Structure 1
């Protein structure tokens, strides 16, 4: 009996080894996928159905340029508040080019047209732009413009869609090359867009409920005035240009920007008065009373027309004043009317910095929002497990389903961004969102990435999980596990208070770097309290980062993307909190992260054999927290399937058992390899 058992065990190992050899082969891209991107190298060019014909737009713009003696025109993907997500009426670059990615700049010359964007969007741009547009990944924008123009010619742009830094990055080198960079206050794209341009928002502005507020607007104004008073440069006013600054300051919200509860506005705040620049017709009477708009004392808000901000600021500068601005969100269109001697410039305004540290009520609300959000995500994963094997669901149907689940949660105010529902090669696009042309059927044979989030009255959420319902390859498992290892290493990190977020970026990448892998996006971004899903200056490895302080919230989201095959990202939101350390060198407190997202990871993609004891211990502790927090919530809502799913997916991992298992599998792989080579035959 014993020899028989040994023989059976050996053959099981051999079969497993053979299976591993097959499953570890690289995924082969479907040749038909080439039809998803343009091919401008052939004649006639091949254009996929996702491409927009821009010939008419370019012809009309060049006619206007010629009439105004402009040789090149620069079109950023921004708005007058330098908002990341913009209103449809401000999506000028997308309308001109067909490319809808959130990052990138277009330039049109007399004979050429080009777009620059970062690596996240290269494939998307090739799917959406026709061959009128060059996708430039080599020459800088200024170098391209210099090649398209001659000395003495004019390069035009709308100063209200450029930050001060960006404007000067064009004007200085162009001036050195004897070109003129000229501000055109009236945007040329708006002229050719004409009546087709979406209208100005008119929906009423509303207030965050009192029970969800940690501070009144009067308290917040008092704090900003305190910072003005004790600033050594003694500013007399603070100018707020970013939309989330005014929304946060007054505890007001709107619906002007997709996925972001903002309204078009500016604020000019002094020690003696407050001016809110907004479309007054959008303020109901109760909001006007709430803002004390009928009086003129220091705690009364004076309402001014939105369009009058530049004129009003210019008028204010005639006195003995100093205006404090945050350079990151102030446009050149406003900056240029303020004498340099009357400016106090920081990268971020005092409101941005103050807003980034959440008070206890905001912390409580964000945590509560993530619990409700986890109910929606867990319910979605249960639905996927049941329906994907049937072959009936797609990226779009999946996105619609999870969006609907979120909408049913208490305090829901819609999505925090367009859901990224990406299967197979589509997931290799870090910020892909499905449409009718690219919609892919969800399959047990492909990895699936879903990055989604919600806006709730008490907080904003953002979470990414990567799933597999079939049998992943060894490489997919290793890549996923190394992304998870980086995620855990960053989550476990302990650092001195005041550490710049970028310093921590290496924790998230190190496990990938060890085997020559990496990703092209930042590792973390701040998140708002019913505000922006990307809230700067909090962040990690993004170029926007600031000193991390207790009470800040950031995402942790390393990833890996294999072009034309699959994508992996694991994203959670975490709160910066005090760490328990034995010592406190220099009297400085040390910080760490507390996870707020509460959804388990994909078990079948985790290879514990390459993880260390500390990483596995963190994973088990996290799963225990997820179970203890979410199981009573699911049971209370009679979500029995979800409860059972969570129990299964939060089982603790055993390091010793999995190491033994990995050795057995390795032995099987070796035996299988020897058999294939004929050495045991």
Structure 2
């Protein structure tokens, strides 16, 4: 019996297992993250959801030739029971040790356990490596994502929406001033790094005063940045940059404030070439993937939890503080309008939770400078 809330994943698993066999892989680990360790992800990156049918925001799946299991925390147990079909085992824990123990039981000795290194943080990779050490199972990174292969042309396409410049009236600092500030921190650091690698989507968006909508409710776009003492490389889908954004980025050419635009997929190759020189790359380990981290020789790394960009952007300048307060006032206007609408409409018996959420969203959209809600409205009554 398959409940109506569950997805039949038999064909999806069969396709993935064919690929595993062809690759000589005995187990494949699928996380719920994207290549930037984002808290929220796009539908294109919802690999865990596609292979399992589970739509919760956190979890890990492992697929072998004859078994499949999902690990998630207690927030999602009931949801997982409703959404998983009979092909899946639900594991009510999230520890890497428990995942590794399951793998050791399911995979014969000398078997390969594979994953996409560009979807796992440095700490998570190291935890899997330690947990499987001495078990006879080999942790094998594969840069080709096998779920993407199985998903094929059914996978949602990448975003094609415009990447736009944030007007100076909102930022309080030009991107050139921000770059100069980060370079000053590089010079003042005891280890004198020659470059900063930015992997977090909000880092590049903040640094260049650019915005997009690649992830629902988040004004970011897929990108990386390598900022050196003398050069700036922005890895992004160039065709999506608005004319104003492109003009802003290239206004300092030639020179140290000239942004060299490269395609998003070129970051690994560029980083590999850069790391061959006499360099030190500063990165934030919290949101850099093991895939990028492993490209840079250990002796050329400056590892800190957060990059100087992430630390600097957390301290809001006077203009940003003013904009935050103004945004809260505009949102308060929308909420008051909504409460007035409820007072008039509820007695007529025509409001339910869904229509209420739609109405407050519309009121917020109508406010000046609105770019939409920061999360899906949570509407409840009773």
Structure 2 length-normalised TM: 0.95
> Are 1:316 and 2:274 an aligned pair?
yes
Is the contact made by 2:165 and 2:244 (CA closer than 8 Å) also made in structure 1? Answer: no
Tell me the secondary structure at the aligned position of residue 238 of structure 1.
strand
Q: 1:210 pairs with 164, 168, 172, which one?
A: 168
Residue aligned with 1:289, SS = helix
**2:334 aligned to 370, 373, 376, which one?**
376
1:136 alignment partner, one of 72, 84, 91 = 91
Residue 275 of structure 1 contacts residue 302 of structure 1 at CA under 8 Å; is this kept in 2? Answer: yes
Q: Contact (CA 8 Å) 2:202, 2:220: kept in 1 or not?
A: yes
Secondary structure of the 1:352 match is helix
Superposition CA RMSD, Å: 1.7
Partner SS for 1:103: coil
Match for residue 287 of structure 2 among 309, 329, 350: 329
Paired residues of 1:72 and 1:149 also in contact (CA < 8 A): yes
Say if 2:220 is the partner of 1:265.
no
- Partner Cα separation in structure 1 for residue 183 and residue 113 of structure 2: 41
Deviation at 1:259, TM superposition (A): 1.0
Task: Give the Cα–Cα distance (whole angstroms) in 2 for the partners of residues 71 and 297 of structure 1.
Answer: 51
Match of 1:74 among 29, 34, 44: 29
Unaligned runs of 5+ in 2: none
The 8 Å contact of residues 30 and 115 in structure 2, kept in 1 or not, is answered as yes
**Partner residue of 1:249 out of 207, 230, 249:** 207
CA-CA distance at 1:281 after TM superposition: 1.2
**C-alpha distance in 2 between matches for 1:119 and 1:333:** 30
Match of 1:280 in 2: 238
CA distance in 2, matches of 1:388, 1:186: 54
CA contact (8 A) 1:293 1:303 kept: no
The answer to whether the Cα contact below 8 Å between 1:155 and 1:181 also exists between their aligned partners in 2 is: yes
| Residue of structure 2 equivalent to 1:603 | none
User: CA shift at 1:291, angstroms?
Assistant: 1.0
Per-residue CA deviations over 1:383-421 (Å, capped at 9, x if unaligned) read 344444555433322221221111111111012122222
Residues 252-296 of structure 1: CA deviation (Å, up to 9, x unaligned): 011211111111111000111111111111123332221126723
Q: What whole-Å deviation, never above 9, does each CA across 1:56-108 have from its counterpart, x for those lacking one?
A: 11111111111211111111111111111112111111111122222211111
- Residues 32-71 of structure 1: pairs in structure 2 closer than 5 A: 44=1, 47=3, 49-71=4-26
Q: 1:135-189 CA distances to partner (integer Å, 9 max, x unpaired)?
A: 2114722122122112110111111111111111112221321211111111111
Q: Give, in whole Å, the separation in 2 of the partners of 1:119 and 1:376.
A: 35
- 1:105 aligned partner: 60
Name the count of aligned residue pairs.
379
CA-to-aligned-CA distance 1:524-547 (integer Å, 9 cap, x gap): xxxxxxxxxxxxxxxxxxxxxxxx
* Counterparts of 1:84 and 1:285, CA distance in 2: 30
Secondary structure of the corresponding residue to residue 354 of structure 2: helix
- 1:580-620 C-alpha deviation (Å, 9 max, x unpaired): xxxxxxxxxxxxxxxxxxxxxxxxxxxxxxxxxxxxxxxxx
Superposed, 1:196-595 pairs within 5 Å as: 196-292=154-250, 295-388=253-346, 390-421=348-379, 423=380, 442=381, 446=382
Query: Which has the larger Rg?
Result: 1
Q: Does 1:92 align with 2:47?
A: yes
2:279–2:300 CA contact under 8 A, matched in 1:
yes
Query: 1:293 & 1:123 partners in 2: Cα distance?
Result: 54
Q: Give the match for residue 545 of structure 1.
A: none
Summarize deviations over 1:318-367 as a string: whole Å, max 9, x none.
11100000011111111111000000001111111111111111111111
Question: Are the counterparts in 2 of residues 293 and 302 from structure 1 also a CA contact under 8 Å?
Answer: no
Q: Which has the higher contact order (CA 8 A, sep 6+)?
A: 2
Is the contact between residue 326 and residue 347 of structure 1 (CA under 8 Å) also seen in structure 2?
A: yes
From 107, 124, 127, the counterpart of 2:82: 127
2:115 is matched with: 157
Of 107, 114, 117, which aligns to 2:72?
Answer: 117
Aligned structure 1 segments of 4 or more residues deviating by more than 6 angstroms: none
Tell me how far 1:134 sits from its aligned partner.
2.1
